[in-house]
Structure 1
């Protein structure tokens, strides 16, 4: 059927569809739109629903693009249009990626947004959907029914182009689903299709961001024709020493370890982890570039590095640095030396940001694999956002990055990790873990596009912290970010008064619908009503200054005492941050660690040394970022 005929069939559907930003449609509307689009395009409804689930979990996001320019439930990509309204990235800090004061700073250069003519087909699928369906691009971006129809048209076209009939059996659509992923290699296309058919077999039911209940009944007997992927003519992934679980598609794109004169080299350090040092952290980033640029940057010896990159559209993974080696990614050398960095493709932040389910799932599988291999606890004390990594000294706090930002869905991510955030204590517990309902919790953020202007309303896993139990009270201060004592703001990049899903804090007081926690040396209040809680009560260890101490210093790294350094290794100062942990305050313990410093300022790894002293530290959740205190300064108890 031609494009004009398809468009004619859609006239009743589109004229009845609500515009972007309209009131919530009547119950069942979205489910019906999937059913009608599947019937018109000859695609099994379960296939269409499962593909949409893996793209968006059936959310519409009010017509706003994903971090890679995808629109609507089907994630039809139109990065050209999305880039026209692009705002500065929320990783806007100017941190030293190494965070090692023993050598010159290594910062990432300004990364340009991709030029429209350089965008690959996977970032321009909306254009193709418009050609196939006859629906104008604007409607595909903003009208859910049109978006679903466009996605169905893409699936139907992929089936036709493969020379296959429009079968009613979902098992016959494996190749079309693999093609829909946009992957250019067979392993990624197959992994994506396998995930879609896992959704078909297990079924899903969910209330979307527009309040719609959508359901896909389980069909456990579906056995797809997996051999269809071989006929797509896709390349094979680059071979190499990848360290990935079998459940993801992973290729080797090595970062260079290269010396280029004047004692400088790039772009990571050789090590022998976990023999030399334990790997304790996994750091979640999102990129400031599209996939092609991301790979180009990490292969530049003059740039910085990270262990893995993950692609948005299909969850494809590229590994760059062996896990035993140290990448330059977190802006804190102590954390770098003991962590693995994951960069998630995302070059857009306005008007709001969302990430595909395909990428969330690949990322969670990779994190589970790394955590299992090295015994890393799957909690928010060890799976950190880049925005949770502390500055190393007072002067570095302002420059620390703020990705992945308030729109990363930590609650869903931890469900995928198999560690859902649930209560473990009664209503009078001394510790709470932040856990608002992501979809319905929509605090106002500003500065996504223009400084001071409100961002488009969007679900968020972060709560705001006030100086008193009132929404009108000022936000708490962060003297590290603002030494002059100014209040924190609602800016999307301002972490000064923000607590995120999964972070645990000691309770300071409860008053009606409000809970106070200890945060950056002060009592900080957030709204936590019984009927719509934004936190769960949990058990946990807490610490406070030992008896006789009015306050103890707080550090951004856990370095050993001066006497531990051997000859030839310069002593690294244990410089406190501008905060204080005061007597009577309590903070949740994330673990105990020896003071360590990895001395690796030269290209030749034979001279690299791990300095380990007698001093031990506790990691704590101190503010939005973690911090360290000396074990000798505090006492630990059950919260």
Structure 2
């Protein structure tokens, strides 16, 4: 097994070019402050006032702001791309040039210092533009109006939103027409869908949907270059900027090579998963590492500031990224610039949107279901044998917004009170994100973590807020309970994950988790879990326990001469009599892709060994696992 070492945090994050490019979500006209209170009215009133003062349709202001920040203000702090406030006005430190591609350099211009341009246009103080929501929105409106005038297009709050395509493209701060138009297309997709959310400061804004046909011909009026194609055919949607930066496949020493394996997927193994990683380092350091033949590899890297993508390994080849060879064989890995312990500081809206575009494209191309059993975090990848469980990774961590991400994928995480939550039913975890601020510790040297939205609920050993967290024998081999440390996933039920209800007690729900019961609070009025139909596995009659596995390799008789048998060792967990676990996939391949030599040839290398011993992928604890079909009964949940 080639296991992936996480990129060292010591690699300094490299800054920051452009702004957004992304997938569609919500959008448009007059902002409505839902629920009473001055906090709710501030942003809504500010959008309306700025629209009238600077002659920009309110729908355009709202949709641009949503595409940039989802109306969040960063509370006076800069985003990773140097942007402030809900309009993401940028104030990047001047420099002669910034390296956007690991090679080509482009000049940093006005587009990266829009906060100061807004100050010139409005006469407003830069500090106010950074820190005050209403002032920031006014600055963004002034910029849009200036872009519209520079393209010799009419300005006015009553003008049609359709006639602002060129100005919106300019607002992106992009380096070329491809990136600029991708941003504008997202903004208009937002308008078409509408949106509603509570911002990071508790402001509740609703935008009704608005259907318009944008004047895309306006893009030709901008001075942006068309954009150049990079050598090497990338496997990306046309709606994102994507470059080919190949990971090396070469001999590194006698009998050794790096940093991925050639294959012919899906003929040599289906692609079942897309694994979401974070880099634990800046994008330039990450790109340097993936070009190191003695290191490991992944298919794509995505930059935080603008969602720019580099592809390194073709989808039909096997990258070394998951720490589990079976998962490597069947997955595509995407690295997202960021640090799991910092979360929202790095996981920008442009990152989420472009990542969702890429994943939707890859899922459609490879017939991968858009659900949390197949679009997985690195933290869901199981250890291969008992000794590797504790060393498995935990990224992208507790601050990755799975609910928003799946909304962008067009496959929202299930959350409707249609079926009763009762013993034997399958529940999907959906705790919300922004207002789900769980206690997390040890992000910083002083043991603290900046409070922010989290993607999970804690599971406890009893229906009591004071009860200890559940145990994970793989992470803590003794009898210790799990902890709140940021890297400790032992007691976390994450958004989109599924479990079988063991029992209910008032507001508390117990689910089967790692061979025991785990309790979480889910009041009927504000539930964190919702029941849905599906298949479960239970031990066959007469079995008091069933082993679980971290991979689904073939039985010994399936291996031809010259290919050693790969032992399938049970993990340290078991499924007890009377327990049940949801099925994530009942049709996985039982196989082993033999790739141990450089440029190897069949029949003993670069070949797929297929078995007859059937396995099911199941939801089991925070991570997924596999069980032999011969050990369990497959049946619908009650």
TM over 0.5: yes
Cα distance in 2 for partners of 1:425, 1:154 equals: 50
Whether 1:176 aligns to 2:171 is: no
TM-score normalized by the length of structure 2: 0.83
| Farther off after superposition, 370-379 or 61-70 | 61-70
Corresponding residue to 1:250 among 225, 242, 249: 242
Which of 86, 91, 108 is the equivalent residue of 1:73?
A: 86
Equivalent residue number for residue 46 of structure 1: 59
Bigger mean CA deviation after superposition, 490-499 or 297-306 = 297-306
Task: List per-residue Cα deviations over 1:591-637 (Å, max 9, x = no partner).
Answer: 23343111112220423121222222111111111011222221222
* Structure 2 equivalent of residue 192 of structure 1: 183
Retained in 2: the 8 A contact 1:237–1:250? no
Q: Which residue of 2 aligns with 1:603?
A: 598
Check conservation: 1:67, 1:347, Cα contact below 8 A: no
Per-residue Cα deviation, 1:166-201 (whole angstroms, up to 9, x for no partner)? 555444443332233233232122111111122234
Residue pair 1:352, 1:455 contacting (<8 A) in 2 also: no
Specify the SS of the correspondent of 1:342: strand
Q: 1:534 to 1:120 in 2, by over 3 A?
A: farther
Q: 1:31 to 1:621 in 2, by over 3 A?
A: same
1:32, CA displacement in angstroms? 1.4
- Residue 537 (structure 1) shift: 0.7
Distance verdict in 2 for CA 1:469–1:314, change over 3 Å: same
Q: Is the 8 A contact 1:78 1:126 kept in 2?
A: yes
Deviation string 1:452-502 (CA, Å, 9 cap, x unpaired) is 32432x222211100011111101111111113222111222101001111
Paired with 2:83 and 2:545, the residues of 1 have a C-alpha distance of: 50
Partner of 1:19: none
Give the 5 Å matches for 1:571-610: 571-592=565-586, 593-606=588-601, 607-610=605-608
* Counterpart in the other structure of 1:145: 134
Shift in Å at residue 27 of structure 1?
A: 3.0
Q: 1:202 Cα deviation (Å)?
A: 4.1
CA drift of 1:532 comes to: 0.5
Distance 2:55 2:563 in 1: 69
Give the 5 Å matches for 1:493-532.
Answer: 493-532=487-526
The 8 Å contact of residues 151 and 221 in structure 2, kept in 1 or not, is answered as no
How many correspondences in the alignment?
A: 582
State the Cα deviation string for residues 142-183 of structure 1 (Å, max 9, x = none). 432343344445545555666766555444443332233233
Tell me if 1:59 matches 2:59.
Answer: no
Deviates more, 1:282-291 or 1:538-547: 282-291
> What 5-or-longer segments of structure 1 have no aligned partner?
1-22, 81-113
Alignment CA distance shift 1:448-1:161 (3 Å): farther
1:630 correspondence with 2:628: yes
Question: C-alpha separation between the residues in 2 aligned to 1:599 and 1:338?
Answer: 13
1:121-149 C-alpha deviation (Å, 9 max, x unpaired): 78776576667666666655543234334
- Aligned counterparts of 1:245 and 1:539: Cα–Cα separation in 2: 33
Residue 70 of structure 2 contacts residue 199 of structure 2 at CA under 8 Å; is this kept in 1?
Answer: yes
Alignment match of 1:433 (pick from 412, 428, 438)? 428
**CA distance in structure 1 between the partners assigned to 2:273 and 2:77 by the alignment:** 33
Alpha-carbon distance in structure 1 between the residues aligned to 2:490 and 2:524: 26
Q: In the alignment, what sits opposite 1:558? A: 552
Alignment correspondent of 1:448: 443
**Distance of 1:393 and 1:137 partners within structure 2:** 56
What is the aligned counterpart of 1:422 among 385, 397, 415?
Answer: 415
Quote the Cα distance in structure 2 between the aligned partners of 1:128 and 1:581: 62
Task: Decide whether the 8 Å contact of 2:537 with 2:635 is kept in 1.
Answer: yes
**Contact 2:341/2:397 (<8 A) preserved:** no
CA deviation after TM superposition for structure 1 residue 585, in Å: 1.3
8 Å contact kept, 2:547–2:627:
yes
Structure 1 residues 618 and 138: CA distance shift in structure 2, 3 A: farther
Q: Equivalents in 2 of 1:134, 1:265: separation in Å?
A: 60
Looking at structure 2, the residues matched to 546 and 123 of structure 1 have their Cα atoms a distance apart, in angstroms, of 62
Aligned equivalents of 1:259, 1:50: Cα separation in 2: 51
Per the alignment, residue 7 of structure 2 pairs with none
Residues of 2 paired with 1:256 and 1:133: CA distance?
51
Change (3 A) 1:601 1:27: same
Equivalent position of 1:467 in the other structure = 461
- Counterpart of 1:268 in structure 2 is 260
Give the aligned partner of residue 33 of structure 2: none
Q: Answer with 381-390 or 149-158: which moved more.
A: 149-158
What do residues 500-520 of structure 1 show as CA deviations (whole Å, max 9, x unaligned)? 111110111111111010111
Q: Of 348, 355, 362, which residue of structure 2 is paired with 1:363? A: 355
User: What is the CA–CA distance in structure 1 between the aligned matches of 2:241 and 2:329, rounded to whole Å?
Assistant: 27
Q: CA RMSD in A?
A: 3.1
- Say which SS state the counterpart of residue 232 (structure 1) adopts: coil
1:481 to 475, 481, 484: 475
Q: Secondary structure at the match of 1:632?
A: helix
Residue 396 of structure 2 is aligned to residue 398 of structure 1: no
Give 3-state SS (helix, strand or coil) of 1:28's partner.
Answer: helix
Q: CA separation in 1, counterparts of 2:630 and 2:147?
A: 64
Change (3 A) 1:351 1:543: closer
Measure the CA separation in 2 of the matches of 1:48 and 1:323: 39
CA distance in 2, matches of 1:128, 1:576: 62
Q: Partners of 2:378 and 2:91 in 1: how far apart?
A: 28
Q: Offset of 1:76 from its aligned partner?
A: 4.2
